Amino acid sequence: MALPTISKLGFELSRIGQNGPRSFVTSCCCLVEQDWRYKNGLPRNPNAYGPLTDGRDFTFVDQRVTPIGAGQLKRLEKHRIYAEKILQTVKEMNFAIERRSNLQKQREEKQKEILESKLKPKGHLLLSGHKRKM
C-alpha cells in the first residue's frame, strides 16, 4: 500500500476538522470535593502526604521490618534535600543578621572614636570645668 502524498494528507486533515467533534476540551477537571476538603482543613490532594503515602505498604505478621518501596525512597530523599536546603538558608540568614549587627556596632564605635578625637578645650577652661557657649 502506497503512502499518501502531502497534498492528500492535507486534504484529509482539513476534512477531520470539518466532520470531527465540534468541541475539544483541553482543561483538566476540578475535583468535586475541594470546598468540603478546604472547610474540613484537609489538603487538596489526599495522596500528597499522610499514613497511606508515608507509611509502609504492608506489614508482616511476625513484626519483621518491611522493605522501603521505590516511591517512598524517592520521597524520603526529596524531603531530605528540602530539609538540607532549609537548614542552609537558615544558617545563611543567621550569619547575615549577625554580620549586620556587628557592622552596626563597628560603625557606632568608629563614630564615637571620631567624636572623642575632636579638638577639646585647653588651659584654664579645661581646669575650671566651664563650658564655652557658642
Distance CA 56, CA 65 (A): 9
Distance CA 103, CA 95 (A): 12
Q: What is the pLDDT of residues 86-110, one digit of tens each?
A: 999 999 999 999 999 999 999 999 9
Q: What is the pLDDT of residues 27-80, one digit of tens each?
A: 555 556 678 878 888 777 777 777 767 777 677 788 887 888 888 899 999 999
- Grid cell for residue 132: 564655652
